[in-house]
Every structure is written in C-alpha cells, then in structure tokens.
C-alpha cells in the first residue's frame, strides 16, 4: 500500500508487491480443502459479483494494487473455491461455456495486445478513451489476440513436426518484426500526440496562461484537463534533444534560437536545470531577434573544477567546460546566462584540501569577465520531490523543500558585476509550490519544469533578464525572488 501511494508503476509490476495475491490462492487450497455444494454455489456467485464490481467501480484514480487489489483477488479465490459441480446453478456451468472458454484461451494474447492499442488511440486522439472507443479497442484486441494465439502462441507451444526448421525460423522472424513495431508505433503516437497538445495550447493561450496568470488581472478559465496531459508529461521536454550532450560526451553541441544574423549574441549554458529554461529563453530570443545559442550537458554545469559523478571524477564534464570556455573566448558573446543544480558535488581525493563551491564559482565568473562577457546567473529551482503523476493536486510549502544555494552564496560574497535572477516566486507563489499554475503543470518530474510552463514564463524571463543586465555595474545585482512580483 505504501509503494502504491509513493510510486505506483513499480508497485503494479514488481513481483514482491504482488506475490501475496498468489499466496492467497495457496492458503485457500490448504485452508478449504472441502466445501459443500450449497456453499460452493454461493461462493461462486459472490466471486463473479466481486469481479464485475471491480471492473465497473475501479477507475484510473483507484490506487492499485494497494488495498484495492483485495477485491478482485478475493473474488477470484471465491470462484476457484466454487470448483466443479454438475449443478446448473454453479458458476462453473457459466465458465465452461464456449464464450468463456474462448476468452480464457486467448487471455494471454489479449493481455499483450490491449495496452499498446489503448496507448496508441489515446495518443492519436489526444482524448481519454470513451465508451465507444473502448468497445472498438476491445474488439480489435480480441481479434488480434485470436489471430496471434493461433499463428504465434499455438505454433510455438505445440509445433507441428511437418514444419521445416526454415519455415519455423521465418515465422519467428516475422513475429519478431511485428512485435518490434508495436513500441515504435507507440513512440510515434506519443510524439505526434505531444506535438498536437502543444499546438492546441499555443492556439488557446487564454485557457492555459501558466505563469502569466500570476500577474494577469483576469480569472483563470475552467478547463477539463490541465496541460500537458499527465500521460505525456515526462516527454514535455525543451526542444534541445539534438544538442544535449550525454554523460560520456565532452564536445559541446549547439542549439540556435532567434536570428542567426542578430547583432546581440547570447549563450545559455549549463546542465538540465539550465536546459529547463530553454523554452522561455527561445521565446525571448525570437521576440528580440537575438543571435542566441544553448549549450547543455547531462549533470554538468559550467564549472572550472572536477565534479563527482557516482563518487568518481567526472572528467567528461571538466573537458566539456574547458571547451565551452574556448568557444566563449573565440566567439565573444555579449551575454552569458548560467544555470545549474545547486547540489554540486566537487570531487576531492582523500586528504586533498576542499575548496568551497562558492569560491570556485567566483573563480569562473572572474574568468568570464576577463573574456569581456557579461554574466547573468539563474538561481536554482527547488526540488519538488514528488512525481507529478503521483500527486497532481499537491501544493508543497516552499520552506520544506528550499535548500541553501551555493550560487547565491557566491553572488553575495563576490559583489562584482554579475547579475542574479530568481524566478522561484513564479514557481512557488505565496511560498507554496503547487502542481498546477494557470491550468499548466509546473513539474514534469521531481525537479524539472515542464517545457509548457517554462514557455509560459517567456515574458517574466525577458523582463527580469533586462533588469539584471541593466543592474550590472550598479551594485544592485539580485533581480526577482520569492518577495518580488511583476504585478
């Protein structure tokens, strides 16, 4: 029950959370070896009623398996205990009929087929599967299950000696091709569905204001679903897949935004916590005709010292950072925007003196200034700590998830012309961090913003970036924060 509440996917699939269901069947066989016919009839009818009740009463909001799994499990045990009987009133008479025997025969194939079809249809239409679509999916699943049961399952379970080895291998290869296409089709449907969702949101900006609702004077419209849908929220990523460097890469990759011939050149650099701002950054660059680029790498900010990755030196990150500094020196951007996770873990050898993260950040900023680059840093976002699909109605106190940020500490200690922007008052307004703001989900996972919400912050991003640039050299370096509002 605990794992169902915390992380339902593993709770559903892993054996150790479901083995009690198998054990109940064993206990029933040991504890009830002999039951009279009259009791069997009653148990069978109660069992069928319990199974039907689970089918009609359970929904996507039912925490499953958890305690809810007791109903279908106990009901199935009652059906098993009802056993064989010649009485027409016994449920066994129903279960041995041809329709039920047919469903039993194709049950495994039906189990394999139904879910890919459900996912494909829901992603293709962008809507929740309704009764009519559900009936169509059921019929399609039964048809495919019957075909694959005969031509795949039965052939390998009871192979005919007359079939040649070559023919069997051909059938196996054909089956592998067919089944390998299922995840590809599902993936294509997910991408198509996500593109359709983004287009719909873009065409209905007033219905999905996101961060704009925090400084607008209009009420947030009532909608039937929030954006992006929870089913695809993990895929609501920035448009940087082609230029995101993996853990074992060291050569920077560039994504370009705005006007490539623009006179104002801007770099956004950092790890995934910098990358989450790309949708807002892209919007500002497009509006202003900037020559903008993003450079991001997994778990790797621009940091001039060795970081740790799984307790080992993260050499590819250090090499990537050195190459980034070379690119900055060569291209001389007008502005460098840095973003990073706040829980950096520098790598130190045993007995080696440990240099504070804030001191190393100051060293980086001095080097960038020597390259004549203006620098603005973005305060890190809090770690929400909960998967949004597990808690779509949550609102967490900011103070309970806020942590010391070495970037802010370095900025306070440096007092040189480096701009600092804090957007957390638009993520945790009134010091509460909700799952949804302005009909848009804020988090795509435990600590990254959805691309949809980041895009809704384009206006905020631009205004605070302007203020940060203007403040460089004035002594007023911090822009925004939980106490600041655009109202």
DSSP run (H or E) holding 40: helix 37-57
Task: Name the band, by pLDDT with cuts 50, 70 and 90, for residue 168.
Answer: low
Residues 130, 312: Cα–Cα separation, whole Å: 51
pLDDT at 327 over 70: yes
The encoded tokens of residue 298 equal: 């997994």
* In the chain, domain spans: 2-156, 217-480
Q: What percent of the chain has pLDDT above 70?
A: 83
Mean pLDDT on 428-448: 95
3-state secondary structure at position 384 = coil
pLDDT at 4 over 80: no
Mean pLDDT on 401-427: 87
pLDDT at 42: 87
Residues 209, 202: Cα–Cα separation, whole Å: 10
* CA-CA-CA-CA dihedral for 460, 465, 468, 469, to nearest 10: -150
| Three-state SS annotation for 246-284 | CCCCCCCCCEEEECCCCCCEEEEEECHHHHCCHHHHHHH
Cα–Cα distances (Å) from 443 to 43, 47, 218, 383, 471, in that order, read 48, 42, 24, 10, 30
- Identify which has the larger pLDDT, 251 or 194: 251
pLDDT at 487: 29
pLDDT at 253 over 80: yes
pLDDT at 215 over 70: yes
pLDDT at 205 over 70: yes
Residues 371, 308: Cα–Cα separation, whole Å: 27
pLDDT at 163: 56
Q: What percent of the chain has pLDDT above 90?
A: 43
pTM summary value: 0.65
Mean pLDDT on 403-425: 86
Query: Crossing angle for the helix pair 458-471 and 278-288, nearest 10 degrees?
Result: 70
pLDDT at 339 over 50: yes
pLDDT at 161 over 60: no
Contacts of 346 (CB under 8 A, 6+ apart): 305, 306, 307, 308, 354, 355, 357, 360
Contact 43, 93 (CB under 8 A): no
- Identify which has the larger pLDDT, 34 or 477: 34
For the chain, how far is it from start to end, CA to CA, in angstroms? Answer: 44
The CATH classification of domain 217-480, taken from the options 3.40.50.1110, 3.40.50.1100, 3.40.640.10, 3.60.15.10: 3.40.50.1110
Lowest mean pLDDT among 209-218, 273-282, 402-411, 418-427: 402-411
The encoded tokens of residue 406 equal: 């070495």
pLDDT at 377 over 90: yes
Is the Cα torsion angle 41, 47, 52, 56 positive or negative in sign? positive
pLDDT at 390 over 90: no
Residues 114, 116: Cα–Cα separation, whole Å: 6
Mean pLDDT on 446-472: 93
Residues 400, 276: Cα–Cα separation, whole Å: 22
| Strands (E) located in 22-163 | none
Contacts of 21 (CB under 8 A, 6+ apart): 65, 69, 73
Task: Name the band, by pLDDT with cuts 50, 70 and 90, for residue 343.
Answer: confident
**For the segment 70-94, what is each residue's pLDDT rounded down to a tens digit?**
999 999 999 888 876 666 667 877 8
Cα–Cα distances (Å) from 13 to 63, 153, 231, 342, in that order, read 14, 23, 18, 34
pLDDT at 442: 97
């Amino acid at each position: 029950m605990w794992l169902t509440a915390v992380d339902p996917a593993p709770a559903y699939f892993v054996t150790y959370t479901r083995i009690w269901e198998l054990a109940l069947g064993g206990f029933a066989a040991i504890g009830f070896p002999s039951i009279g016919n009259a009791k069997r009839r009653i148990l069978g009818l109660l069992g069928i009623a319990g199974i039907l009740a689970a089918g009609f009463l359970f929904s996507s909001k039912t925490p499953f398996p958890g305690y809810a799994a007791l109903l279908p499990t106990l009901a199935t045990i009652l059906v098993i205990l009802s056993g064989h009987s010649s009485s027409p009133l016994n449920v066994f008479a129903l279960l041995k009929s041809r329709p039920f025997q047919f469903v039993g025969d194709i049950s495994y194939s039906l189990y394999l087929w139904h879910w890919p079809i459900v996912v494909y249809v829901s992603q293709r239409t962008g809507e929740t599967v309704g009764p009519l679509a559900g009936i169509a999916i059921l019929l399609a699943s039964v048809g495919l299950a019957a075909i694959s049961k005969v031509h795949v399952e039965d052939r390998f379970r009871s192979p005919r000696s007359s079939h040649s080895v070559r023919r069997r291998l051909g059938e196996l290869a054909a089956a592998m091709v067919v089944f390998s296409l299922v995840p590809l089709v599902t993936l294509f449907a997910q991408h198509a569905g996500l593109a359709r969702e983004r287009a719909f949101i873009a065409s209905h900006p007033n219905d999905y204001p996101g961060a704009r609702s925090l400084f607008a004077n209009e009420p947030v419209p009532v909608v039937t679903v929030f954006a992006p849908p929870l089913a695809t929220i993990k895929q609501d990523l920035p448009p940087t897949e082609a230029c995101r460097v993996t853990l074992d890469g060291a050569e920077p990759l560039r994504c370009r935004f705005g006007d490539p011939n623009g006179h104002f050149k801007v770099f956004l650099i950092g790890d995934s916590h910098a990358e989450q701002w790309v949708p807002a950054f892209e919007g500002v660059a497009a509006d202003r005709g900037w020559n903008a680029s993003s450079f991001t790498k997994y778990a790797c900010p621009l940091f001039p010292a060795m970081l740790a990755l799984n307790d080992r030196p993260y050499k590819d990150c250090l090499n990537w950072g050195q190459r980034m500094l070379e690119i900055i020196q060569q291209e001389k951007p007008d502005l460098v925007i840095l973003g990073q996770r706040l829980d950096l873990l520098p790598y130190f050898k045993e007995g080696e003196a440990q240099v504070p993260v804030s001191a190393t950040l100051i060293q980086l900023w001095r080097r960038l200034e020597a390259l004549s680059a203006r620098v603005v840093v973005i305060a890190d976002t809090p770690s929400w700590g909960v998967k949004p699909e597990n808690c779509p109605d949550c609102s967490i106190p900011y103070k309970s998830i806020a942590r010391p940020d070495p970037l802010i500490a370095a900025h306070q200690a440096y007092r040189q012309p480096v701009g600092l922007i804090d957007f957390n008052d638009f993520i945790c307004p009134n010091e509460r961090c909700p799952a949804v703001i302005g009909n848009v989900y804020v988090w795509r996972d435990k600590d990254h913003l959805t691309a949809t919400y980041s895009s809704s912050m384009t206006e905020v991003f631009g205004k605070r970036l302007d203020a940060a640039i203007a403040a460089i050299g004035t002594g007023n370096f911090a822009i925004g924060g939980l106490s600041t509002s655009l109202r």
